[in-house]
Every structure is written in structure tokens, then in C-alpha cells.
């Protein structure tokens, strides 16, 4: 019996980790600047390629993954400086600009790297409970997702940077008047967002086929999680991922992956009819 219970938890954890890891970077950027980064998938792709490249050079996997996340974060800061910062007052144009960037990056990668890169296998290791065997790496992913949530909580709630960042999020003009360098806060936040996207790619790199268009695999999940989470990402993202993971896992188990994805999308469309501002709006109202 406990094997069945654990199996359900395991499947849930798998979907939850995927949602959190793919959405966290996008959610931070959206929450701070109101910008949806359409090149999010390309930062994920970047993280995956750097990881695989380093591992093929002989670097141990965990170090390669951390290096990949940092690389993506640094590229994010550059992209923010060159492109995104011009569009904070024009959020719709930021969508187009980053989409243009996404097209350029994906297709250039196809031209330069080609479609096939030697991948790395999923780290070995499995354990058995009752009659079922589980892959350990999936639990590593779940642990990473929880660590990302805890880490974001600590950074945004317990550090000086977090206080200034939340002030900027609430009222940028006032924060500026009080001496916060909002430009720098935005750049760092975008870097964190891109770094988290890179981390997502780095963590999933061993489990996936490496192609330049792999970012698209994560895009739908990250979009819907952010839409359901709403404007206050610190409050909304985790509950949104919990809700969507529950829906998706149930459908996955009975009908397979693609019906799970369709069902999740339908659920999202139904939910926005009732809660267009997402779960965080409800939670904020409750909190008052």
C-alpha cells in the first residue's frame, strides 16, 4: 500500500518540479518588471547546452550545472542591459523584442551547432519500494525545485536586496526617491530570472534530447504557471504549481502526457474566466 502512496507522490513531485523549475525564472522577471521574457526557453536551452558541453569536457555534472546557471544569468544581465531595459514602460513591445531575440538565437543555433549534439545520459541510480522501481534523479529534481522556492523566499524576504526589490516591485518611483537604484535591481532580477531558466535547462539536460528548439518544451508549462500564479509571484507561483501539478498528474496517470497537457490548458482557460488575476489575488485578499 505504501508503495502506491509513494508512487502517487513521486508522480506528483515529478510534475511539480517541472512546473516550478520551468516557471520560476519567468515568474521573477514578470513579478518584478511586468515583462514576459519570450526568450525564456532560449535561456533554458543555453543552460542545457553549457551543462552538456562542460560534462563532455570532463567536468562533474553538479559543477557543470551550477556553472551553466551562472552563465545563463550573466547572459541575462547583458540582454537586460542591451534590450530589455528600453521596454519597461512598454510591456507589450518587450514581448515582441524578446520573441525576436528568441527567433534569432534558436535559428542561429540550428545554423551553427546543427540539430544534434551528443547528450549525456540520466545519472544512474534507482531505488525500489515494494514492487515499483523509481529513478533517484527525479527526486533530485524535486529537491532542486523545493530548494529554488526556499532560496527565493530567503533572498526576497530575508535579505537587504529582497527588501529593496520588493519595494521596487510595489512602487518603483517611490523606491527610487528613497535612494534605491531600481535600474540595478531590475538588472539583477533579470539575471536571477535568466539564471533560474539556465538552472532548469541544466537540471533537465541529462533527461532530454538536446536540440536548439528544446526551449519550446518548457514554454507552455511556464506560461500557464505564471498566468495562474498572478502578479504577486512570491505568493502565487508555488500554489499555482501545486494546483496545476495535481490536475496534470491525475490526467497523466489515466490518459497519458498529451491529454495531461491539454487538460491543464483547459483548466487554465476555465480558471482565468473566474480568477483573471490569478491565485495570488485571492491570497492577497485573504491576507488583508
Shortest separation between residue 14's beta carbon and another protein, angstroms: 18
Shortest separation between residue 145's beta carbon and another protein, angstroms: 21
Instruction: Name the strand (E) or helix (H) holding 265.
Output: helix 257-274
Nearer to another protein, 95 or 155 (CB): 95
Nearer to another protein, 91 or 123 (CB): 91
136-142, long-range: CB < 8 A, 24+ apart = 137/206, 137/207, 138/10, 138/13, 138/14, 138/17, 139/10, 139/13, 140/203, 141/14, 141/17, 141/18, 141/21, 141/203, 141/204, 142/13, 142/14, 142/16, 142/17
Q: Which residues contact 278 (CB under 8 A, 6 or more apart)?
A: 227, 228, 229, 230, 231, 236, 240
Nearer to another protein, 119 or 263 (CB): 263
Nearest to 19 by CA among 170, 161, 141, 155: 141
Shortest separation between residue 80's beta carbon and another protein, angstroms: 14
Nearer to another protein, 90 or 184 (CB): 90
In this structure, what C-alpha cell is assigned to residue 87? 521596454
The residues that touch another protein, with contacts defined as CB under 8 A, are 34, 36, 83, 86-87, 89-93, 95-97, 99-108, 110-111, 213, 216, 219-220, 223-224, 226-227, 258, 261-262, 265, 268-270, 272-276
Nearer to another protein, 104 or 147 (CB): 104
Helix (H, G, I), strand (E, B) or coil at 127: strand
Nearer to another protein, 106 or 280 (CB): 106
Shortest separation between residue 206's beta carbon and another protein, angstroms: 22
**Whole-Å CA distances, 266 to 12, 37, 50, 224, 244:** 19, 23, 35, 10, 11
Shortest separation between residue 50's beta carbon and another protein, angstroms: 21
Shortest separation between residue 215's beta carbon and another protein, angstroms: 9
Nearer to another protein, 35 or 238 (CB): 35
Nearer to another protein, 64 or 79 (CB): 79
Shortest separation between residue 101's beta carbon and another protein, angstroms: 6
Shortest separation between residue 277's beta carbon and another protein, angstroms: 8
DSSP 57: T
DSSP 122: P
Burial of 276 from C-beta contacts in 10 A (0-12 / 13-18 / 19+): exposed
Helix (H, G, I), strand (E, B) or coil at 58: coil
Amino acid at each position: 500500500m505504501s508503495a502506491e502512496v509513494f508512487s502517487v507522490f513521486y508522480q506528483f513531485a515529478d510534475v511539480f518540479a517541472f512546473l516550478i523549475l520551468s516557471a520560476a525564472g519567468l515568474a521573477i522577471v514578470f513579478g518584478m518588471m511586468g515583462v514576459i521574457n519570450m526568450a525564456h526557453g532560449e535561456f533554458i536551452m543555453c543552460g542545457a547546452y553549457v551543462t552538456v558541453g562542460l560534462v563532455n569536457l570532463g567536468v562533474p555534472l553538479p559543477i557543470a550545472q551550477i556553472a551553466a546557471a551562472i552563465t545563463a544569468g550573466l547572459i541575462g544581465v547583458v540582454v537586460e542591459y542591451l534590450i530589455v531595459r528600453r521596454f519597461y514602460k512598454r510591456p507589450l513591445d518587450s514581448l515582441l523584442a524578446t520573441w525576436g531575440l528568441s527567433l534569432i538565437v534558436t535559428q542561429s543555433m540550428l545554423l551553427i551547432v546543427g540539430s544534434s549534439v551528443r547528450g549525456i545520459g540520466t545519472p544512474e541510480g534507482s531505488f525500489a519500494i515494494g514492487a515499483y522501481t523509481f529513478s533517484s534523479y527525479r527526486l533530485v529534481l524535486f529537491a532542486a525545485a523545493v530548494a529554488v522556492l526556499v532560496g527565493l523566499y530567503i533572498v526576497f524576504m530575508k535579505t537587504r536586496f529582497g527588501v529593496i526589490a520588493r519595494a521596487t516591485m510595489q512602487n518603483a518611483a517611490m523606491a527610487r526617491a528613497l535612494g534605491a537604484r531600481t535600474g540595478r535591481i531590475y538588472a539583477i532580477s533579470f539575471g536571477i530570472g535568466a539564471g533560474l531558466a539556465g538552472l532548469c535547462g541544466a537540471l533537465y539536460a541529462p533527461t532530454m534530447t538536446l536540440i536548439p528548439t528544446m526551449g519550446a518544451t518548457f514554454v507552455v508549462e511556464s506560461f500557464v504557471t505564471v498566468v495562474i500564479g498572478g502578479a504577486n509571484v512570491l505568493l502565487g507561483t508555488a500554489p499555482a504549481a501545486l494546483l496545476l501539478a495535481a490536475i496534470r498528474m491525475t490526467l497523466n496517470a489515466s490518459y497519458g502526457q498529451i491529454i495531461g497537457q491539454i487538460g491543464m490548458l483547459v483548466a487554465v482557460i476555465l480558471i482565468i474566466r473566474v480568477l483573471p488575476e490569478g491565485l495570488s489575488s485571492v491570497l492577497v485578499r485573504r491576507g488583508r
